[in-house]
Amino acid sequence: MNRQKRTAMILVNGILLFIVILWTIPTVGLLVSSLRNRDDIRSSGWWSIIPNYGWSNTGEELPLPEGQTRDTPITIGSKTATFDEWREGIDMGDGTRYVWIGTLRSGRIEIYRQQWRVNWNFTTDNYSQVLSGKEFEIRNGDGTISTVQGDDMSASFLNSLTVAIPSTIIPIMIAAFAAYGFAWMSFPGRRILFIAIVAMLVVPLQVALVPILRDYVSLELNGTFLGVWLAHAGFGLPLATYLLYNYISTLPKEILESAFIDGASHFTIFTRLVLPLSVPALASFAIFQFLWVWNDYFIALLFLGINRNNEVLTQRIANMVGSRGADWHLLTAAAFVSMLVPLIVFFSLQRYFVRGLMAGSVKG
């Protein structure tokens, strides 16, 4: 029985470990690659940072044999093979491997030997280049220096902050007021209005975008931060109101009533009593909304797309995928810059995030 239990335990942990590794590897690869220079990324996979046993260049070279043609076999040392085979590399049988580098006429033969190798050649140059908007000098593999334009991600980073912070706080504030109003005040239409909010929880925001964009164009809000804040506030409100209502309506009635008897107004009770008591719910939703807004690409593309100055991180990266699709050293660094804030928020406030997520799983 005990042995059986132990086998089960090993099996459970083994499968779990396998899945966890599978899930983590893509992100690890991105992080590692963002710290490797351009030539390393092009010539070897990021996994070559793991010590591995294989062919590596000894630095020794042989001169090219004389009178070779593309079609006839060429003899070097003890082996004879065609040019194409030499280019693939031939095992010489003595633990070395000869590889023809370059063309038929002007090239060299490099000698490889099997040994333990590891590539720990890390750099933060990629980050400097994507963050800065200035011209930037990079050293090429052959030692020459070329000038490239930085990607100015630090500007996008600030724009992302400018979009995300008010887009988180404004809807929470409006929703908290509304939740209090629905929970503790009486007015005509209270029930039907709240039902309308519940109905809006799953409305796909595509339904609203065409008319809102038209409004924005005529109000000159298109491309402004205010426009994006209001859009995020509008689209986040149903969920925010619903969640905060669920919390605020369950606050003990006695506390509020005794405050009324002491002569406090609704406004005072809300700001002095209800808001502080609701911090857990506010925090949960704040994290949820912040990550949602920070990671949003669609709304930013629609409402900020016209104004390059206000471009946020997700837009910047999506553009880079188009314009620098093969520059993996930059793309990986850029992607990691955009992930930094969410990852910090996530790992430090995970408990609140999970709570908000579980409460908010009705969002459309």
Tell which positions 200-259 bind another protein, by CB under 8 A.
200-213, 215, 220, 224-226, 229-231, 233-235, 237-238, 241, 249, 253, 256-257
Q: Please tell me whether residue 182 binds another protein under the rule CB under 8 A.
A: yes
Instruction: Using alpha carbons, list the distances in angstroms from residue 110 to 43, 60, 113, 115, 225.
Output: 16, 6, 10, 15, 58
- Count CA atoms closer than 13 A to 94's CA, side-chain side: 5
Distance CA 301, CA 237 (A): 20
**Which of 90, 69, 88 lies closest to 79 in space, CA to CA?**
90
The contact mask relative to another protein for 34-73 (x = CB under 8 A, - = no) is -------xxxxxxx--------------------------
DSSP of 143-176, one letter per residue?
A: S-EEEEE---HHHHHHHHHHHHHHHHHHHHHHHH
Report the candidate in 248, 263, 87 with the shortest Cα–Cα distance to residue 181.
Answer: 248
Q: Least distance (Å) from another protein to the CB of residue 103?
A: 21
CA dihedral sign of residues 336, 340, 342, 343: positive
Comparison of 148 and 199: residue with beta carbon closer to another protein: 199
- Which range touches another protein (CB under 8 A), out of 20-28, 64-72, 92-100, 124-132? 20-28
- Which residues, in sequence order, are CB contacts of 203 under 8 Å at separation 6+? 238, 364
CB of 183 vs another protein, minimal distance in Å = 8
Among 76, 99, 138, 161, binds another protein (CB under 8 A): 161
Only one of the segments 61-69, 73-81, 106-114, 346-354 lies at the binding site for another protein (rule: CB under 8 A); that segment is 346-354
DSSP, residue by residue, 241-279: HHHHHHHHTTS-HHHHHHHHHTT--HHHIIIIIIHHHTH
Q: Which tokens belong to 176?
A: 């908290």
Q: Give me the least distance between CB of 295 and another protein, in Å please.
A: 3
Would you give the binding string for another protein spanning residues 295-324, x where CB under 8 A is met? xxxx--xx--x---x---xx--xx--x---
Binding-residue pattern over the window 72 to 111 for another protein, x denoting contact by CB under 8 A: ----------------------------------------
Shortest Cβ 69–another protein spacing (Å): 29
Number of residues that bind another protein (CB under 8 A): 131
Q: Does 120 bind another protein (CB under 8 A)?
A: no
